[in-house]
Structure 1
Amino acid sequence: MTTKEPMVKDEISLKELIEKGKDWYDYFLSQWKIIVIAGFIGAVLGLGYSFMKKPTYTATLTFALENEKSGGSGGILSLASQFGLDLGGSGGGIFEGANLMELFKSRTMIEQALLKPVFYKGDTISLAEMYIQNNEWRKSWNKKPKLAKIQFLPRSKRKYFTRIHDSILGVISSNLSRFNLAVAQKDKKLSIITMDVISSNELFSLYFCENLARQVGQFYIATKSKKARANLEILQRQTDSIRGELNYAIAGVASANDNTFNLNPALNIRRVPSAKKQVDVQANTAILTELVKQSELAKVALRRETPLIQVLDKPILPLAKERLGKMKGIVLGGFVAGFLIIFVVIMKRLLLNFK
């Protein structure tokens, strides 16, 4: 005979659930003094933090990018997109999409902006030095001989920096890109970029925002028009060289004609140098004409390939100020402390039940 084993009851009835809830309620009620005291302490700490925390200032700069070269196959791509086809037209250029966002946060761009001169407290210093002063790093550096003499002068040459300079700049760049800098493209269909710089120093937010935007803009223009500019420079050098050869040939023709003035017609051999110089003049004239034409076309191409950066909104003093209010600090501190003490109380009971 087979015996039927009693089935294990896995489900919890509504009655048991209500009893467990009441049990937990009674437990929390018995711990109300601890929870209230912890919430009060958290509120006091939140109030104190609101007094100690410095206000932050946000510098916002908005600009648009326009590149005349981005025409070409745009019509085909837009037509294909209407039928749900993605031909990959908006490729991975360095100045497109997320790549442009990361360019603003790159160490090279930030460091070059940090070495720009600014006027602060009656003196001209670099933005890196201004950051160090704002964060009061030199108070601890004065106790260390290797750091006490470290200076970041405006427009300093990067190649003369030591490992300590590189390390400090690396820390500043990392802090700025992670905590102080936000770059976003509000709409992927638009070429409008918004950059926010947040810091506890109003002037630093303003100066760093303007200098970083200017640095990235210069790099953007130089890179986008690099090939066209190099081609124009080559054509200009060739034009100057041919113009010099043409002037030399013209002078040679004049000199040869002077040597054959009133020459006996029977002595034609004496006219050969003049004829050769005349051929050089004609050849160099034709070459120079073509080079001048190509140079003008190259100038037009350079203007077409040079993108336009139009600043829409610039940061203007006074900047937007944000600080932790007293009431907000009290509520936030009390809530965090209360949540933590409730978590501790729950874990304490669970551990006791487990034992």
Structure 2
Amino acid sequence: MENSLPVKKDEVSLKELLVTLKEWWCYLVSQWKIILIAAIIGAGLGLTYSVIKKPVYTATLSFALEDEKSTGLGGALGLASSFGLDIGGTGGSVFSDSNLAELFKSRSMVENTLLTSVLVDGKNISLAEMYIQNENWRENWKDEPKIKDIQFLPIINRKGFTRVHDSILGEIYRDLSKKKLFVSKKDKKIDIISMDVLSTNELFAKYFCEALARQVGQFYITTKTKKARSNMNILQRQTDSIRSALNSAISGVAVANDRTFNLNPALNVKRSPSIRRQVDVQANTAILTELVKQTELAKVALRKETPLIQVIDRPILPLMNDKFGKFKGIVFGLILAVFFATLILVFKRIITKSIINS
């Protein structure tokens, strides 16, 4: 007897729940006009949004970091080191994969890229100016006398920038680095880094992606090979200097021999200038031979460190885009409108009931 009571109570509760649900259903059906109007408005807003919203294009560039090792040059480099010369050949870890990815998103690299000139519709324009026009920033600057006339011309010199110029570039950099520029390593097992640039302007996405890759590549090469290139230039200057001295010594020997032509063999003192010149020739020849070896080693080491970035895939038009379709806009707008209309009607009925019961 006691066990049957809970079952009966449960059955009553279930019946009440079904009755309540039926009442709510009938109520919502009775409000079909309101829900239909909301659905039509929502579908219209969704369609309008899909038409107004510009498609977002994605320019993707993938590259691999080339890290040549100094294998095969160990003995030669050791010999060069014994003469106090550092001709490079050691990769270093300053520009590892992770550091290189951050370098792409650094402010200096992005801002220098924005000052790059590109050809659009037969006119040269900087990427910074192209970005400002695409974002319609100048429309918001009409009432700002300090910035409304600011332009980033293709031949502009960064040294002549004012605080306003730097502020605008900084704003563009923050917008790009946070929302539109992504650099990552797709797979930890593969040494390939991918860069994605998002923009509502297809050409800007492509041009900026390629220009940033070139900018970072040039900086990478210049920084990584700075010591090796400097030492190679020093060795080249020394080689040219010794070669000039050797040529002068050879000419000096010839002149001294001409002056002592048919000289009495007993007069050896007058032959001393020719002998001294011959010693200079021998010494300079030995020095030049060694310098030529070291210069060639320096050139080999420099070649092994450049290029440092190997591009695999470049962005090709037409770019992939994420477009909010009309059908998608209508469906999403309709669903959201019906949902919120139903929610408002439910809250309205609950509030009305609570007022009546009170």
Matched residues in 2 for 1:92 and 1:31: separation?
A: 71
Matched residues in 1 for 2:65 and 2:149: separation?
A: 42
Asked if structure 2 preserves the Cα contact closer than 8 Å seen for 1:92 and 1:99, the reply is no
Cα 1:71–1:109 change in 2 (3 A) is: farther
Asked if structure 2 preserves the Cα contact closer than 8 Å seen for 1:249 and 1:281, the reply is yes
Matched residues in 1 for 2:192 and 2:106: separation?
A: 20
- Residue equivalent to 1:219: 219
- Residue equivalent to 2:84: none
How much does 1:231 deviate? Answer: 2.0
- Residue equivalent to 1:204: 204
Matched residues in 2 for 1:248 and 1:122: separation?
A: 56
- Residue equivalent to 1:187: 187
Matched residues in 2 for 1:149 and 1:65: separation?
A: 42
Q: Percent identity?
A: 61
Asked if structure 2 preserves the Cα contact closer than 8 Å seen for 1:235 and 1:295, the reply is yes
- Residue equivalent to 2:245: 245
Cα 1:255–1:344 change in 2 (3 A) is: farther
Matched residues in 1 for 2:347 and 2:70: separation?
A: 61
The one-letter code sitting in structure 2 at the alignment partner of 1:204 is F
- Residue equivalent to 1:152: 152
How much does 1:35 deviate? Answer: 8.1
Q: Deviations over 1:251-294 (max 9, x none)?
A: 22223223333333333222222222221111111000000011
- Residue equivalent to 2:281: 281
Which shows bigger deviation, 197-206 or 336-345?
336-345
Q: Identify unmatched segments of 5+ residues in structure 1.
A: 1-13, 73-90
Asked if structure 2 preserves the Cα contact closer than 8 Å seen for 1:57 and 1:202, the reply is yes
Superposition TM-score, scaled by structure 2 size: 0.76
* 1:305 aligned onto 2:313: no
Asked if structure 2 preserves the Cα contact closer than 8 Å seen for 1:35 and 1:342, the reply is yes
How much does 1:92 deviate? Answer: 9.4
- Residue equivalent to 1:55: 55
Secondary structure at the counterpart of residue 219 of structure 1? helix
Matched residues in 2 for 1:157 and 1:23: separation?
A: 78
How much does 1:223 deviate? Answer: 2.6
Q: Deviations over 1:46-89 (max 9, x none)?
A: 332212111122222222232222879xxxxxxxxxxxxxxxxx
- Residue equivalent to 2:321: 321
* CA RMSD in angstroms, aligned pairs only: 3.7
Cα 1:70–1:270 change in 2 (3 A) is: closer
* 1:140 aligned onto 2:140: yes
How much does 1:331 deviate? Answer: 3.8
The one-letter code sitting in structure 2 at the alignment partner of 1:232 is M
How much does 1:180 deviate? Answer: 1.6
- Residue equivalent to 2:103: 103
Which shows bigger deviation, 178-187 or 306-315?
306-315
The one-letter code sitting in structure 2 at the alignment partner of 1:176 is L
- Residue equivalent to 1:125: 125
Matched residues in 1 for 2:109 and 2:48: separation?
A: 38
Asked if structure 2 preserves the Cα contact closer than 8 Å seen for 1:97 and 1:188, the reply is no
How much does 1:317 deviate? Answer: 1.5
How much does 1:217 deviate? Answer: 1.9
Cα 1:275–1:26 change in 2 (3 A) is: farther
Matched residues in 2 for 1:225 and 1:92: separation?
A: 11
Which shows bigger deviation, 217-226 or 169-178?
217-226
Asked if structure 2 preserves the Cα contact closer than 8 Å seen for 1:45 and 1:333, the reply is yes
Which shows bigger deviation, 20-29 or 116-125?
20-29
How much does 1:43 deviate? Answer: 4.5
- Residue equivalent to 1:255: 255
The one-letter code sitting in structure 1 at the alignment partner of 2:270 is R
The one-letter code sitting in structure 2 at the alignment partner of 1:280 is D
Matched residues in 2 for 1:22 and 1:97: separation?
A: 62
Secondary structure at the counterpart of residue 271 of structure 1? helix
How much does 1:340 deviate? Answer: 6.9
- Residue equivalent to 2:230: 230
Secondary structure at the counterpart of residue 146 of structure 1? coil
- Residue equivalent to 2:69: 69
How much does 1:305 deviate? Answer: 2.1
The one-letter code sitting in structure 2 at the alignment partner of 1:68 is E
Secondary structure at the counterpart of residue 145 of structure 1? coil
How much does 1:299 deviate? Answer: 1.4
- Residue equivalent to 1:9: none
Matched residues in 1 for 2:92 and 2:266: separation?
A: 74
Q: Which has the larger radius of gyration?
A: 2
